[in-house]
Each structure stands twice: as C-alpha cells, then as structure tokens.
Structure 1
Amino acid sequence: MRSLILLLSFLCLVNCKEDKTSETELTTTGSSNYTISFENAAHHEAEITATFKGLKTGEAEFRMSRSSPGRYAIHEFAKNVYNVKVTDGKGNVLETTRPDPYSWGVNNHDGTIIVNYTLYANHGDGTYAQVDETHAHLNMPATFMYAPSLENDTFNIEFKPRKDLNWKIATQLKLVEGNTYSADNLQYFMDSPTEISDHMLRSFEVDGQKINFALHHNGTAAEFDDYFEKVKKTILQQKAVFGELPTFDYGEYTFLGCYIPNATGDGMEHRNSTIVTSTRSLADGADRNIGTVSHEFFHCWNVERIRPQSLEPFNFEAANMSGELWFAEGFTSYYDDLTLTRAGLITREDYIKGLTGTFNYVWNSPGRQFFNPIEMSYQAPFVDAARSVDDINRGNTFISYYSYGSMLGLALDLSLRAENLNLDDYMTLVWKTYGKTETYYTIADLQQTLKAYAGAEFGDAFFNNYIYKSGMPDFETLFETVGVQLKQNIEQPAFGLRLKNQVITSNTMVGSGAYTAGLEKGDKLLKIDGVEINETSDLNKILGTVKPNQTVNVVYERFGKQRTVKLTLDADTSYAISSLNDLSEVAKANRDAWLGAK
C-alpha cells in the first residue's frame, strides 16, 4: 500500500508540473521589440526593425499613430514610412493588406511578426521626428509602428547611436542595459521622446530626485551653466506652489533641449520629461527659451498628473478633444511668466507690462460671443498644429485656450487674493485631491474644489460667469488691489482691420466699422477720407485727423474693380496696463504676495 501511495504521489507531481507548464505557455504575454539605426542620417532616414511577439492566431494588425501625446490634432505619421517588409518568426515573407492609410494587416503568421521599414524624419519639434548628422530627435508616435493587441505588454528598444558622431541617449524610458530601454506599455512608450546627439548634460537633486537637462546646442559649456542656474530657480519656485515635486518614475525628470538652427521652436510635456526646441541659441535667446522651460515643467503637475478625464486613455488613432484645456494649458500659461517673475528672471514691472498683449487679445476678441472657454478648448483638434489649405475665420471666432485660460488664471488669482486667499493654494488643493492620487478630474470637479476652497458662492459665481459663459471679470477693480492701472483710450479711432502695403491682410473684425462697411481681407485701400494712400502710407497719421464715430469715404479695389463705401470709425477699445509707482502699504503687500518669491 505504501508503495502504491508513493507511486500515485509521484505521478501527481509530474502531471501537476506538466499542467502548470501548459498553463504558463498559454498565458505567455507578448512584447514589442525595436531596433533603430541611422546609417543614412545625412538624408534624414532611420532604419527600424519592429518585432511583435505573442500575437494571437488569425489576422494581426500593426500601424502608425495618428496623434501624439500633448497634441490634440490628427498627424498622419504613416506618410513618412516606406520600404516596409514583413516576415514571420522563421523569416518567411508575409503578404500584407492595407485596410486604411495608416495600418497594415497580416495573416498566416506564427505568433511573431517582424517588420522592417525606413522612416523619413526632418522636423525637429515636440511632435515629429528629425534625423540628420546633428542628432536623432525621436518622438515615438512619429517614429515607431505598434501592434494594438500588444498595447498592455512590454516595449523594448535598442538604439544604435552613431559612435562616429559621439551620440549619447537621453530619454525617460527605463534603462535595461547598454543602449536598451523599456516601457511597461504602449501609453508610456509613446509618451517617451528620445534625444540622441552629442549633447551636454547637467543635473541637480531636489528632495532625493534628480532633474536632468540634456542640451543639444552649438554654444559653450559656460553658457549652459548660466542657463541651468535659471532653470533651477524656475523649478524651485514651481515646487513652492505645490509644496513638493511629483514622484517621478525611476526618480528622474529630464529636459530634452535642442537649441539649434535646424530645429523648429516648440515645447511638449511628457510624464517624466519634456522637449524644448528653439532656433535661438543661448547666446541670444536664453531669456525667451526659459519661458518654454517654465511652461513645460509646470505641466509635470498640471496635465500630466492633474489630468482631465477626457484625455484618458490617450487615443493614438484619432484626434483627442478636451474641454479642460483652458485649465490644463491656460492656467499653466499663467504660471510660466509668473514663476519667472518670482524667480527674479523677469522684473515685476516687465511682467505687469507684458500682460497687455494677451489681455487685449482675449478681452477684445469677438470670439467670446461664439464660444466659452470650454468650447474654445474643444477647438484644439483644429488648431493645435493641425494643417489645412482652406481659408478660415478663426480671427473672429477663436481665442487660444492658452491665452484665454491664462487670463482666467489671472482673474481667479486676483479675485481670490481679494478674499485673502490665492490661486497657489487652490492649485495645491487640486494637486492633493486629483494629481497626487492620479484621479482624473472633470470641469465639475474643478468647480467643486473651488467651492470647497473659497466657498460655494464664490466658486459658483466664477464658473457660471466666466467658464460656462464668456463674461469678463472686473479687472479694473482687481488690478487696483495690487497697484496696477488698467485704462482704455476710447478717444482714439480704430478701423478694425490689419493693413499691409494697402491690402487688408486678415478678415475684418466682427462688429467693427470695417466689417459693417463690408470691407474684407484682400481689399486694396486707395483713399481714406479723400487722402490717397500708397504702400508707405502711415495709417495712424491718417486716423489722427478723424475721431471715433466719424464717417469717412473709403475707396478700395476688389477683384480688379474700384468701389467706394462709407465707414464709421470705431473707438479704440484696446487696454493699457501699467504699474502704479505710488503704492499704498496694502497694495504693496498684495503685490509682494502675488509676485514675490515663495
């Protein structure tokens, strides 16, 4: 009997082991594995091999993305892919189908598909890729195919830098070994731009985490050292808003900077890194470049972790629309120059004066009669680096959610300060409630948080008047609390049009005298109030002879025919913003609290 029991136990162990092995084989996860090299960088080409493993039987799909994290419009990245060759895991050539312009279908594979292709890349910014003999600047959606069925599996990539060009790798991807990196899933992989170049690197630690700046530029190490000191000050002032840095994956955050003539100016936020590109060198553009650094780093809180529900999960196959961009992008825009002022990199007087352009753009735009801030945010897929060839009327109907949100951030900050509160503490509450816990928020959540912070009456009034509607806050009163003067010179006339070499260059502003008179883009002005004009005429001098509400004759040419129309001039409604020199003690204290270092 004992022998029988031992025999049965042994058989059970063997069978159990076999069953466990079979189960493991059935549940083996897939992976996406890439290599990329740059032998033909002189002609902007990269050679890429993508190996997709663990595919289910039947037809498999692989594709190029149509959108990129941080952008909201469609970008057809497949247009720059060619020389596509597909085999199975044994090297057998597979035929592909093309169900649409951006994807490929494959049958009769053995669970593995190997795709070799060439990528053309020559646009170095925050969305696209650029390969040349100065660098390989890689935004992942613009560079790498992917298999949607493997989106939740591991992504591995081996970069093959040009050793002859002293290239090094900078990325937020997790280092495996050597030049091999990984990501846990498609979302993180696509969100991980990579700069491969002969760049300089600077780092500093904040509360046990490392902030890196990998800069590809043609300047000196000393210029970079000076610039990095400004970056440090900026980061520390932003940290002071929230009281802490986010917890970065792998304990690091990396700026990927390209300040080179062949780049295209841009900035693009990512979870643990950001791309900042500019044609301006540090020698002549450091003060402007730092503004993008400030904006993008603030995003590591606001949009990357304080994240709207509408952007989750990010869709790589379609445009991404969000009604929260006035907050995600706009409030970030408010803080970019505010941070630089608090860090001492912009003077208070210059900051206050610098509000003028954005203020006039937002509050004098006819666009507010068509869309509120939420609806302006919905327009992102049409304006965020989107391209079309037909004429548009956005000068009359659209206000950038960056600018609109920035002015709303200013209004909310000053309104809260009038109640002995401030926007910093509201942002901190939003951070602790939604960002730190990585709980995606809605507009209603933002409103509820403001009510919890400043009271129901205050929170409802702000959202009902300025977010769900397009009202303008009482800025004159708000500015007075911090010793700032807001004025309009309505005794000056305005046409409501833009003129260059006698030709109207943009659609006339809805409601303006020029619009009411029927003047439009492309019209060539010949006479105003009997005064002949030519390509060198000064329109301001001509306007200096007339007053608002005065009617003048305008002779113009349209489609080769001369016409005459009566135009009643408008009052100039543009605002001037200036800092008062003689401040009360209260106003001085309020301004110090607003613009002073934290």
Structure 2
Amino acid sequence: MDDSVTKDSVTKEYYSDQFTYRISIPEPENHLLHVELTIANWQQEFIDLKLPVWTPGSYLVREYAKHLQDFAAIDGDGKPIAWQKISKNHWRLQRSDRSIAPITISYRIFGNELTVRTNHIDRTHAFFTGAAVFMYIPEYQQYPYIVHIPDLPKNWQIATALPAFADTKDTFYAQNFDILVDSPFEIGIHERYEFTVQNKPHSFVVWGQHNGDMQRLVKDAAAIVAVEAEMFGGLPYDRYDFILHASNGFGGLEHKDCTVLLYNRLGFRKEESYCQFMNLVAHEFFHTWNVKRIRPKAFETFDYDRENYTSSLWFSEGTTSYYDRLFPLRAGIYDAKHYLKLVSNAITRLQTTSGRNVQSLFESSFDTWIKLYRPDPNTHNSQISYYLKGELLSLLLDLLIRDRTNNLRSLDRVMQIMWERFGKDETGFSEADLHGVIETVAGIDLSPFWNDYLYGTKELDYNYYLEPFGLELRTTRQDIPFVGMTLKSKNGLAEVDRVEAGSPAQKAGINTGDAVLAIAGIRVTAETFNERLRDFTVGEAIEVTIFQQDLLRNVKVILAEPIFNYFELVQIPNASSSQEVNLRMWLNI
C-alpha cells in the first residue's frame, strides 16, 4: 500500500469498510466502553471471533476477555444471529441466511485499571489498549480496519497514532490488525504540547494534574529524541506521540509511533525523580527501534492467542535499559556522576538478589510469561529480571567492545547493524543472528561470555571490564548483623516481606507474611527492627517473637556476619592516561 496511508489523514481511495468498529462511551462514570464491529460483507456460515489474551510489549497472558460482557450479534435486518462461546476468548457465530449482508457484533468492555497495558474509563477520559478492546477474525488480520468514535462528551479530544480518515476528527484507519493493536487511544480532557525533531512532529498528550514544568520536559524529551535518532541515522515514522498519564503509578509501554507513560503526578519537581522520568522516556522511545522494529523472530508475526516465547528479551529490554541511562547523559540532562550512581544502584539491586545464583538470564527471558510479572514469596530467591541483568550484561559488552577496538566501535555499532540488517525490513532475528553481530563488532568469539553470563549463573566480573576505564567497584557492608529478612508495616504490625534463602531467619522457620512482635522480649516495629539489632553481636542467638498463621511463637535466630549491601562505581586513584581517555570516550566527559 502507498505511503500515504501512514500520513496524518487517509484518503477515500484507500478506504475499506469491510471491518468497522464503532466506539461509544455514553456513561463514562460506569467505566464501560461500548463496541460495535460491523462486517460489511460475509457469506460464510461461521464467523470465529477472538479477543487477544496479551498485548505486545507486556509479556503476560492478561486474559482481556474477562472484562468483556453483553456480547450479541445481529444481521442486516436486525435479527439476532446464533452464537456460542468456544473457549475463554473465542466466540463463534452461525448464520442460517448466507446472503451477502452486513453483520454487527456488539459488546461492552469494563475498564477501571489505570496501567499502560489495560483500559481506564472515567468522567475525564477513556484510555484503551487495542488488544484489550478489539475482537478479530484470525484469518483476516491483514485486512484494513476503520475505527469510528462519534458523539463524545463536550471538550473531549482524541489522541491516537492512527491516521485520520479523509480529514475527519472521529474516524481512523489501520492498515491491519497488528497496527490497530499497536495504536492505543487516549480520549478525553487532556493537554497537548507540540515539538519538532528532524522536521517531524512530536507531541506530549498529558492527562491528569501534575507538578511538572512542561516547557523543560518537552525540551529534554526533544533532546533525547535527537540523540537516539542520531544513533540510527534518522526517525522511522511520520509523527510520534508521548501519551502521559499523570497519576500515582509507574510504567511505560512502547508502540511503533507512540508510547504510553504512567508516572507519579507529583514526581516531576524533585531532580532525582525528574531524571527517573527522563530515563522512562528514553527507554520507551528507544523501543521505537529495539523491539518494535528490531525484534526477535518470535515477534516477527504475533500470535495473540497464546504466549510467544523468546530467549532474547535480555537484549530487547535489558539493552534498552542500558541505553535509557546513557541517552539522558548524552543529551546533557544529567552528568557522569549521576549516571555512575544509577549504574551503581543497578549493580546493587542485582548483587543483593539471591535469585542471580539460581536463574540464568536466558531462563529469565524465556520464562517471563510465568515468572517476571507474577512475583511470589520466593521470587527474590529464585529469579532475576532480564531488564536488570540484561542492562548490566549490555554494560559489560559495551566496555568489552570499546576496549578491544580502542573506542573505534561500541555497542552503538551493534544496534546500527541490527537496524540495517533486521529493523528496516522488520525481519525477526534469531539468537544466533544477535550473537553473530555482537561477536563481529567485538572481533572475538564470545562463547565463554555467553556460557558464563547468559546461559549460566556465574557472577559478573565487573572489575575486569571496568579497569580499562579507570573504574572499580567498591563494596560496603551492612552495619548490623545479618538476619536475612525485610519488614514492612501492615495493620500496625511489622510484617515479614521477604526472607533470604539460607539466611538465619529462614533457618529459624520465619516465613513471608509472619508478623514480628519483639526481639528479646522488647517490642519492635518495621522502623525500629534494624536499630534493635545493633544491641547484639554476630553469632549471638536472639529470641524473636512472631505471629505465624495467627499462632504466637518464639524462635531462636543466630545472627550472621553483615552482608555487602551497596556496590559503588568509583574512579581508580592515579588512573593512566589511556584509562582517562577511555572513560571520556564512553561517558562524553
């Protein structure tokens, strides 16, 4: 199809009314979205309709069909069409009259969950994710789709990455179902802030009250867009929207021509929190290339009916996390000192996660569907995040490449080759493809690296890769004896939030969910527990009083040596000139 279908408006010559959705929101306070799907011409006896069970970018089967109600179908004369439900997300219509005539399917979707991957409808707006709203016929996913949204409340506006149809304000066009799913809608009372990068229009669409300085935010976002575009030699879209929900959560979900961001409405004033938001912006925008266009073979064609497995999320998400720290640095939003602090915090999180010794990065990527988004009391002891370890693996790869090539190449070159070879044509890459590109850029066989750090659980040797850049990792021990549990305040009690595998607390039989009442007969709270430990020494057995499943118990906990609980990147004293050059080339200082 001609490029004109990707512009802001689609002309009538490209119009097809075979599949048309009509969206209405008559009572937004009831959180219900009314959907009608009209199929213009259908002669077959059966129509199989499905609703996706997940949405690309969020790797969990979310069972969107649980929010669907009031399903019905009628023919062109308004007569009901018989149907039955085949499975959790599959409806089958059977027509007795097989003449060519329009068919209308109607249903309602309940949406009162404000995340970047679900639906939220209230008196001020209706935000919805395509996968959670639009039913489809599997064999017809490559057909074009029309979305019509008339009769909105006064002052409501529509924001979507889909092009408008024939200069209308309420009708939109998708070339196929994948594009429809990839184009969320923000409809309601919002503010729009426009800016331009490389002669292409961008905007922030902001819903919700907040304390942000939009002039600064837009300026910094434009700088991030510019430095990311510089890496890839341009921008691969006609226009781009940042849809920001200012509320009380955190998250982001990438799409080809837009992203949805969720951030604390009061989190824009403090500098550290503001910089964290810019990391989120940089992360989701980098997905414009990495994952939306440079994507694993498993995501070359989406199967919306089940899990789509890949072992490469460490690259799709972890490498993106590595760059979301670097791009604000390159854009001048913060300095190298702040950047090194962010990396130090990431190393600390990984090194204080016991699951790094149990789950490999390969397994973390592959098992995301059943683990990452479904934490349980043992998650900390048995899992690691492919975001977190993938970020640090990417750090080591970047340093390795820079060191071996005297800064002539870096991980940037890997991304550029992946873009040229796989991203531009949206050809899915295999694990072997990815490893081959990285090894070509590095000029070395990385089999031992992959075996130790990707497929295995060997500790990352940070200092080996940091030394050529004049940096080393300094470790700090906790200043209290080690017990191996963390507490949180709940219902006035100190509830056990996490228990470390093999720790004194676990050996004493303390479990997640227990309530800690006292140490040595003296009451403690979640806030005073660590301070109370200072009254005891390593090797001492202390009596801890707990409620366990409502039963009062006293257990003996033998205090252990303090653990390393903070890891900090510091510059090596008297660094050599080559180390200083390497550091400057890496961090642009």
The one-letter code sitting in structure 1 at the alignment partner of 2:581 is: A
Query: Counterparts in 2 of 1:39-438, with a 5 A limit?
Result: 39-108=26-95, 110=98, 111=100, 112-160=102-150, 162-164=152-154, 166-177=155-166, 178=168, 179-218=170-209, 223-245=213-235, 247-248=236-237, 251-259=238-246, 261=247, 264-281=249-266, 284=269, 286-383=274-371, 385=373, 391-419=376-404, 420=406, 421-438=409-426
- AA aligned opposite 1:428: Q
- TM-score normalised to the size of structure 1? 0.85
- Match for 1:564: what amino acid? V
CA separation of 1:348 and 1:271: change in aligned 2, threshold 3 A:
same
Residue 582 of structure 1: how far off its partner (Å): 5.7
Match of 1:23 in 2: none
Q: Kindly report the root-mean-square deviation, in angstroms, between the aligned alpha carbons of the 2 structures.
A: 2.8
Q: Report the alpha carbon displacement of residue 378 of structure 1 after superposing the two structures with TM.
A: 2.0
In structure 2, distance between residues paired with 1:86 and 1:331:
46
Matched with 2:8 is none
> 1:170 aligns to what SS in structure 2?
strand
Paired position in structure 1 for 2:447: 460
TM-score after normalising by structure 2: 0.87
Distance in 1 between residues matched to 2:508 and 2:45, nearest whole Å: 65
Pairwise CA distance, 1:449: 0.9
Matched-pair contact (CA < 8 Å) for 2:495–2:526: no
Structure 2: gaps (5+ residues): 1-15
User: Residue 496 of structure 1 aligns to which amino acid in structure 2?
Assistant: G
4+ aligned runs moved over 6 Å, structure 1 = none
* Aligned residue type for 1:216: W
**C-alpha distance 35-89 of structure 1, shift in aligned 2 (>3 A):** same
Q: Structure 1 pair 537/49, CA: closer, same or farther in 2 (3 Å)?
A: closer
Are positions 1:595 and 2:587 aligned together? Answer: yes
What amino acid sits opposite 2:131 in the alignment?
P
Contact 2:17 2:146 in 1 (8 A): no
The alpha-carbon distance between structure 1 residues 428 and 536, as it changes in their structure 2 partners (threshold 3 A), is closer
1:119-152 per-position Cα deviation (integer Å, ceiling 9, x unaligned): 2222232211122221121211112222223212
**Partner Cα separation in structure 1 for residue 353 and residue 43 of structure 2:** 55
Q: Measure how far apart 1:292 and its partner are.
A: 1.7
CA distance in 2, matches of 1:181, 1:509: 52
Q: CA deviation at 1:168?
A: 2.0
- Would you say the 8 A contact 2:34–2:108 is kept in 1? yes
Cα 1:135–1:94 change in 2 (3 A) is same
Q: 1:244 to 1:546 in 2, by over 3 A?
A: farther
- Whole-angstrom distance in 1 between the partners of 2:518 and 2:157: 62
Which residue in 1 is equivalent to 2:11?
none
Q: Which amino acid in 1 is paired with 2:73? A: V
Deviation of residue 315 (structure 1)? Answer: 1.8
Q: Distance in 2 between matches of 1:329 and 1:208?
A: 29
1:74·1:386 contact (CA, 8 Å) conserved in 2? no
Q: Using the TM superposition, give the Cα deviation of residue 575 of structure 1 relative to its aligned residue in structure 2, in angstroms.
A: 3.2
The answer to whether the 8 Å contact 1:451/1:460 transfers is: no
Distance 2:70 2:515 in 1: 50
SS at match of 2:149: strand
CA distance in 1, matches of 2:588, 2:41: 57
Describe the SS at the equivalent of 1:91.
coil
Q: Distance in 1 between matches of 2:70 and 2:221?
A: 43
In the other structure, the counterpart of 2:460 is 473
Q: 1:566: how far off? A: 5.0
Question: Is this contact kept in 2: 1:67–1:315, CA < 8 A?
Answer: no
Offset, 1:316: 1.4
Give the deviation of 1:503 after TM superposition.
4.4
Match of 2:10 in 1: none
Q: Distance in 1 between matches of 2:229 and 2:574?
A: 30
The structure number with the bigger radius of gyration is 1
- Deviation at 1:296? 0.3
- Number of the residue aligned with 1:7: none
Find the residue that maps to 1:379 and give its secondary structure.
Answer: helix
Tell me, yes or no, if the aligned pair for 1:128 and 1:142 is still in contact at 8 Å.
Answer: yes
- Report the number of matched residues: 557
- Quick check: 2:478–2:562 contact (8 Å CA) kept in 1? yes
Q: How much does 1:546 deviate?
A: 5.1
1:526, CA displacement in angstroms? 5.8
Per the TM alignment, residue 375 of structure 1 is displaced from its structure 2 partner at its CA by 0.4
- How many angstroms does 1:56 deviate by? 4.6
Say which SS state the counterpart of residue 310 (structure 1) adopts: helix
Measured after TM superposition, the shift of residue 547 of structure 1 is 5.4
How many Å separate the matches in 2 of 1:537 and 1:518?
A: 22
Local SS of the residue matching 1:456 = coil
**Would you say the 8 A contact 2:242–2:258 is kept in 1?**
yes
Counterparts of 2:267 and 2:358 in 1: how far apart (Å)?
41
Q: Secondary structure at the match of 1:506?
A: strand
Residues 568-595 of structure 1: CA deviation (Å, up to 9, x unaligned): 5044122330443966343433232222
Which range moves more in the overlay, 233-242 or 588-597? 588-597
| Contact 1:31/1:150 (8 A) holds in 2 | no
- Tell me the residue number matched to 1:488: 475
Distance 1:504 1:40 in 2: 42
CA distance in 1, matches of 2:76, 2:222: 49
Separation of aligned partners in 2, 1:592 and 1:252: 34
Q: Using the alignment, how far apart are the partners of 2:183 and 2:516 within structure 1?
A: 52
Q: What residue is the counterpart of 1:26 in the other structure? A: none
Asked if 1 retains the 8 angstrom alpha-carbon contact of 2:55 and 2:117, the reply is: yes
Structure-2 change in CA distance of 1:536 and 1:101 (3 Å): closer
Structure 1 residues 86 and 448: CA distance shift in structure 2, 3 A: same
- In 2, Cα distance between the equivalents of 1:527 and 1:136? 49
**SS across alignment from 2:131:** helix
Superposition deviation, residue 211 in structure 1: 2.7
2 CA distance for matches of 1:128 and 1:86? 25
Please say which of residues 202-211 and 421-430 is displaced more in the overlay.
202-211
Structure 1 CA distance for aligned equivalents of residues 22 and 257 of structure 2: 23
Aligned match of 1:12: none
Question: Which residue identity lines up with residue 575 of structure 1 in the other structure?
Answer: Y
More helix by proportion, 1 or 2? 1
Partner Cα separation in structure 2 for residue 367 and residue 358 of structure 1: 15
Report the CA distance shift for 1:80/1:352 in structure 2 as closer, same or farther (over 3 A). same
* Matched-pair contact (CA < 8 Å) for 1:30–1:54: no
- Cα displacement (A) at 1:488: 2.3
